[in-house]
Structure 1
Amino acid sequence: MTLHSRSPQTPAGPNRRRVVQGLFGVGAAALAMPALAACGGGAASDPKTVTFGSNGADATPKKAYAAVTNAFEKDSKLTVKTNTVDHDTFQKSISTYLQGTPDDVFTWFAGYRMQYFAKKGLASPIDEVWDKIGAGYSDAAKQLSKGQDGKYYFVPLYNYPWAVFYRKSVFQKYGYQIPTTWSQFTALAKQMKKDGLSPIASGYGGGDNWTVLGTFDYLNLRANGYDFHMSLMRGQVSWTDKRAVKTIDLWREITPYYQTSAGGRSWQDAAQSLLDKKSGMAIIGLFLGQQVTDESLRSDIDFFPFPEIDPAYGQDTVEAPTDGFMLSRKPKNSAGATKFLEFLGSAQAEKLYMGVDPSNVAVNSGADTSSYNALQKKSAELIAGAKHITQFGDRDSDPGFISTVVEPGFAEWLNHPDDGSALLKKIESQRSRFFTA
Structure 2
Amino acid sequence: MAAHPGGFELNRRSLIRGAGIGAVGLAGTQLLAACSGGSSGGGGAGGGGSATFGSNASDEVPKKAYAAFVSAFEKKSKDTIQTKTSDHNGFQEKISNYLQGSPDDAFTWFAGYRMRYYAKKGLVGDVSDVWSKIGSNYSDALKQASTGDDGKQYFVPNYNYPWGFFYRKSFWQSKGWEVPGTFDELVALAKKMKTAGIIPIAFADKDGWPAMGTFDYLNMRINGYQFHVDLCAHKEAWNSSKVQEVFDTWKELRTYQDPSALGLTWQEAAQKLGNKQAGMYLLGSFVTQQFTDKAVLDDIDFFPFPEVKVEGTDSVEAPIDGLMLSKKGAQNQAAKDMLAYLGTGEGQLAYWKVDSSNIMTAKDADTSGYSAFNKKLGDVIANAKHISQFFDRDALPAMASNVMIPALQNFTKSGSIDLANLETQAKSLYANQ
Q: What is the TM-score normalised by the length of structure 2?
A: 0.92
Partner residue in 1 for 2:368:
370
Tell me by how many angstroms 1:261 deviates.
Answer: 2.4
Partner residue in 2 for 1:62:
63
Partner residue in 2 for 1:341:
339
Partner residue in 2 for 1:319:
317
Partner residue in 2 for 1:302:
301
In 2: Cα distance, 1:99 partner to 1:351 partner: 33
Q: Is the contact between residue 23 and residue 29 of structure 1 (CA under 8 Å) also seen in structure 2?
A: no
Tell me by how many angstroms 1:317 deviates.
Answer: 0.7
Partner residue in 1 for 2:28:
32
Q: Is the contact between residue 39 and residue 328 of structure 2 (CA under 8 Å) also seen in structure 1?
A: no
SS for the counterpart of 1:210 is coil
Matched AA of 1:50: A
In 1: Cα distance, 2:22 partner to 2:275 partner: 43
In 2: Cα distance, 1:363 partner to 1:17 partner: 35
Change (3 A) 1:29 1:87: farther
SS for the counterpart of 2:393 is coil
Tell me by how many angstroms 1:290 deviates.
Answer: 0.4
SS for the counterpart of 1:259 is coil
Q: Is the contact between residue 36 and residue 89 of structure 1 (CA under 8 Å) also seen in structure 2?
A: no
Matched AA of 1:64: A
Tell me by how many angstroms 1:402 deviates.
Answer: 0.8
Q: Is the contact between residue 158 and residue 361 of structure 2 (CA under 8 Å) also seen in structure 1?
A: yes
Partner residue in 1 for 2:329:
331
SS for the counterpart of 2:431 is coil
Partner residue in 2 for 1:4:
none
Change (3 A) 1:103 1:29: same
Q: Give deviations 1:357-382, integer Å, cap 9, x for gaps.
A: 12111011211111223332211111
In 1: Cα distance, 2:198 partner to 2:20 partner: 40
Q: Is the contact between residue 109 and residue 325 of structure 1 (CA under 8 Å) also seen in structure 2?
A: yes
Partner residue in 2 for 1:267:
266
In 2: Cα distance, 1:405 partner to 1:303 partner: 31
In 1: Cα distance, 2:160 partner to 2:20 partner: 23
In 2: Cα distance, 1:160 partner to 1:29 partner: 33
In 1: Cα distance, 2:362 partner to 2:22 partner: 35
In 2: Cα distance, 1:227 partner to 1:404 partner: 24
In 1: Cα distance, 2:36 partner to 2:277 partner: 43
Query: What number of residue pairs does the alignment pair up?
Result: 417
In 2: Cα distance, 1:77 partner to 1:42 partner: 20
Q: Is the contact between residue 72 and residue 343 of structure 1 (CA under 8 Å) also seen in structure 2?
A: yes
Partner residue in 1 for 2:8:
none
Question: 5 Å matches for 1:231-250?
Answer: 231-250=230-249
Tell me by how many angstroms 1:332 deviates.
Answer: 7.2
Change (3 A) 1:332 1:116: closer
Relative to structure 2, which stretch is displaced further, 44-53 or 227-236? 44-53
Partner residue in 1 for 2:130:
129
In 2: Cα distance, 1:113 partner to 1:91 partner: 11
Relative to structure 2, which stretch is displaced further, 47-56 or 143-152? 47-56
Q: Is the contact between residue 267 and residue 290 of structure 2 (CA under 8 Å) also seen in structure 1?
A: no
Q: Is the contact between residue 214 and residue 392 of structure 1 (CA under 8 Å) also seen in structure 2?
A: yes
Q: Is the contact between residue 204 and residue 211 of structure 1 (CA under 8 Å) also seen in structure 2?
A: yes
SS for the counterpart of 1:51 is strand
In 1: Cα distance, 2:141 partner to 2:128 partner: 16
In 1: Cα distance, 2:330 partner to 2:129 partner: 17
In 1: Cα distance, 2:330 partner to 2:80 partner: 14
Tell me by how many angstroms 1:234 deviates.
Answer: 1.5
In 2: Cα distance, 1:250 partner to 1:195 partner: 23
Change (3 A) 1:191 1:332: closer
Change (3 A) 1:265 1:62: closer
Partner residue in 2 for 1:195:
196
SS for the counterpart of 2:290 is coil
Q: Is the contact between residue 213 and residue 392 of structure 1 (CA under 8 Å) also seen in structure 2?
A: yes
Matched AA of 1:327: L
Partner residue in 1 for 2:395:
397
In 1: Cα distance, 2:71 partner to 2:25 partner: 31
Partner residue in 2 for 1:432:
427
Partner residue in 1 for 2:221:
222
Q: Which 5+ residue runs of structure 1 have no aligned equivalent?
A: 1-6, 9-15
Tell me by how many angstroms 1:54 deviates.
Answer: 1.0
Change (3 A) 1:186 1:195: same
Partner residue in 2 for 1:3:
none
Q: Which 5+ residue runs of structure 2 have no aligned equivalent?
A: 3-11, 44-48
In 1: Cα distance, 2:152 partner to 2:337 partner: 18
Q: Is the contact between residue 274 and residue 291 of structure 2 (CA under 8 Å) also seen in structure 1?
A: no
Matched AA of 1:308: E
Partner residue in 1 for 2:7:
none
Question: 5 Å matches for 1:136-285?
Answer: 136-205=137-206, 208-285=207-284
Change (3 A) 1:44 1:257: closer
